[in-house]
Chains A and B, each alone.
Chain A
Amino acid sequence: MDYKSGVCTFCGTGCGNFLKVKDGAVHGVYSMRNHPVSRGRLCVRGWHIHELLMTDQRISSPMIRVDGSLKEVSYDEAVDFMFEKMSKYKEGAAKEVGFLASPRSSNEDIFLFTKLARTVFKTNNITLDSESGHRKSLDVLYKGTGMAGMTGSIAAVSKAKFILVVGSDVTKMNPIIGSEIHKAEMAGAKVVTISSRVSQIARLSTLHLQVNPGSKKVLLAALAKALVAEGHHDMEWLSKKTSGSKEFLESINSLNLTEAENLTGIAYNTIAAVAKDIAGSESAMAFWSTGISGLDQDTVSFIYNLFLLAGKIGGENCGMNPLTGIANLQGGYDMGAAPDLLTGFQSIDDASVVNKFKDAWGVDINSVPGRDIYNLLGDPASGLKALVVADHDEGIIRYKKEIEGLEFVAYIGTYLNPFMDIADVVIPVAGSIENDGTYTNTGRRVQLSRKRVDTFNNVYPGWKLYSSMAAKASMKWDYSSSEDVFKEIASLTPSYSGITYSKLEENFGIQWPCNDRFPAGCESLDAPMNGGVYNFAPVSSEFSVPAAKADYPILLITGQGQHFWHQNNIMKNTYIPRREYRATLLLYPNGYVEICKADADALKVRDKWTVKISSQHGSMNVDVKISEDVKKGTAYIPYFIREMITEFLMEHTQDLQRGEDAIIPIRIEGV
Chain B
Amino acid sequence: MYLIEKSKVMTIADELAKEYELYGPVVDKAAGQVFFDRVEGSGDISLMAEIPALPPKATVFPQIESIMKYKYDRETKNAVIEPVFSEAKKALFGLRPCDLAGIICLDRFFIGQEFVDDVYLEHRKRMFIVTNTCVVPFKQCFCVCTDSGPDADEGYDLNLTEAGEFYLVESGSEKGAAMIEKLGLAKAGDEYRKIKKDVVDKSISLFEDLTTDNKAWISRVMNRITTGFIKDDVWEYVGKQCFECGACTFVCPSCSCFNIEDHNRFDKSTDRLRTWDSCSFEGYTNMAGDHNPRKPVEDRRNKRFFCKLSYSQSKKYLRPGCVGCGRCQWVCPGDIGLPNVVTYIRREITE
Residues of A that sit less than 8 Å from B by CB: 1-3, 5, 16, 18, 20, 27-35, 39-44, 46-47, 50-51, 54, 56, 58, 60, 171, 175-176, 178-179, 182-183, 186, 200, 203-204, 505, 508, 562, 575-576, 579-580, 582-584, 586-587, 608
Contact = CB atoms under 8 A, between A and B. Distances in A.
Interface stretch (B121-129, B168-176, B239-247): B239-247
A640 to B, nearest CB: 14
A466 B335 CA distance: 47
A28 B30 contact: no
B266 A60 contact: yes
Contacts of B64: 27-28, 50-51, 54
A457 to B, nearest CB: 9
Interface string B23-39: 00010101111010111
Given A41-B332, A47-B247, A583 B283 contact: yes
Interface string B94-115: 0000000000000000000000
B295 to A, nearest CB: 9
B261 interface: yes
A46 B243 CA distance: 13
Contact of B39 (A1, A27, A505, A582): A1
Given A31-B247, A175-B243, A200-B240, A41 B331 contact: yes
Contacts of A16: 31
B155 interface: no
Contacts of A51: 64, 275
Contact of A579 (B241, B259, B333): B259
A18 B39 CA distance: 17
A33 B53 contact: yes
B12 interface: no
Contacts, number: 140
Nearest to A582: B283
B205 interface: no
B39 A43 contact: no
Given A1-B39, A183-B335, 17 more contacts: A3-B37, A18-B33, A28-B62, A34-B32, A41-B247, A44-B243, A44-B244, A47-B247, A50-B64, A56-B265, A58-B266, A505-B30, A562-B244, A575-B259, A576-B259, A584-B282, A586-B286
Interface string B204-230: 000000000000000000000000000
* Interface of A (DSSP majority class): mixed
Nearest to B37: A1
Interface string B3-35: 000000000000000000000001010111101
A1 B28 contact: yes
8 contacts: A1-B28, A1-B44, A3-B37, A28-B64, A41-B332, A50-B64, A54-B64, A575-B275
Contacts of A40: 53, 330-331
Given A28-B64, A32-B33, A3 B28 contact: yes
Contact of B246 (A56, A200, A204, A576): A576
Contacts of A5: 28, 30-31, 33
Nearest to A587: B290
Nearest to B50: A33
Contact of B53 (A30, A47, A58): A30
Interface in B249-297: 250-251, 259, 261, 263-266, 273, 275, 277-278, 281-283, 286, 290, 292
A30 B281 CA distance: 18
A580 B38 CA distance: 32
Given A1-B35, A33-B330, A182-B333, A54 B263 contact: yes
A362 to B, nearest CB: 38
Contact of B35 (A3, A171, A186, A582): A3
A293 B320 CA distance: 47
A2 B31 CA distance: 14
A1 B38 contact: yes
B54 interface: yes
A587 B36 CA distance: 40
A3 B277 CA distance: 20
**By DSSP majority rule, is chain B's interface helix, strand, loop, or mixed?**
loop
Contacts of A27: 62-64
Contacts of A562: 244
Given A1-B35, A31-B53, A41-B331, A171 B290 contact: no
Contacts of A200: 240, 243
Contacts of A47: 245-247, 250
Contacts of B266: 56, 58, 60
Contact of A182 (B62, B63, B334): B334
Interface of B: 26, 28, 30-33, 35, 37-39, 44, 53-54, 58, 62-64, 240-241, 243-247, 250-251, 259, 261, 263-266, 273, 275, 277-278, 281-283, 286, 290, 292, 330-335
Contacts of A175: 243, 245, 333
Contacts of B278: 576
Contacts of B33: 5, 18, 32-34
Contact of B245 (A42, A508, A584, A608): A42
A576 B281 contact: yes
Given A20-B63, A34-B32, A179 B265 contact: no
A29 B37 contact: no
Contact of A178 (B243, B264, B275): B243
Contacts of A34: 31-33
A42 B266 CA distance: 29
Contacts of A1: 26, 28, 35, 37-39, 44
B21 to A, nearest CB: 12
Contacts of A29: 63
A646 to B, nearest CB: 26
A188 to B, nearest CB: 13
Nearest to A28: B63
A633 B24 CA distance: 60
Contacts of B244: 44, 562
Contacts of A179: 243, 333-334
Nearest to B63: A28
Contacts of B245: 41-44, 46-47, 175
A176 B333 contact: yes
A47 B275 CA distance: 12
A576 B275 contact: yes
A544 B334 CA distance: 38
Contacts of A58: 266
A426 B227 CA distance: 62
Contacts of A608: 290
Contacts of B273: 575
Contacts of B63: 20, 27-29, 50
A576 B104 CA distance: 27
Contacts of B251: 31
Most buried by A among B37, B292, B332, B333: B333
B255 to A, nearest CB: 13
Contact of B37 (A2, A46, A203): A2
- Nearest 5 interchain pairs by C-beta: A179-B333, A583-B283, A28-B63, A579-B283, A56-B266
B31 A43 contact: no
Given A1-B26, A171-B243, A41 B264 contact: no
A46 B54 CA distance: 16
Contacts of B292: 583, 587
A35 B266 CA distance: 35
A200 B333 CA distance: 13
A166 B335 CA distance: 23
Contacts of B28: 1, 3, 5, 18
Contacts of A43: 243, 245, 333
A182 B58 CA distance: 31
Contacts of B332: 41
Contacts of B247: 31, 41-42, 47
Contacts of A20: 63
A186 B336 CA distance: 12
A27 B54 CA distance: 14
A252 B53 CA distance: 53
Contacts of B246: 44, 47, 576
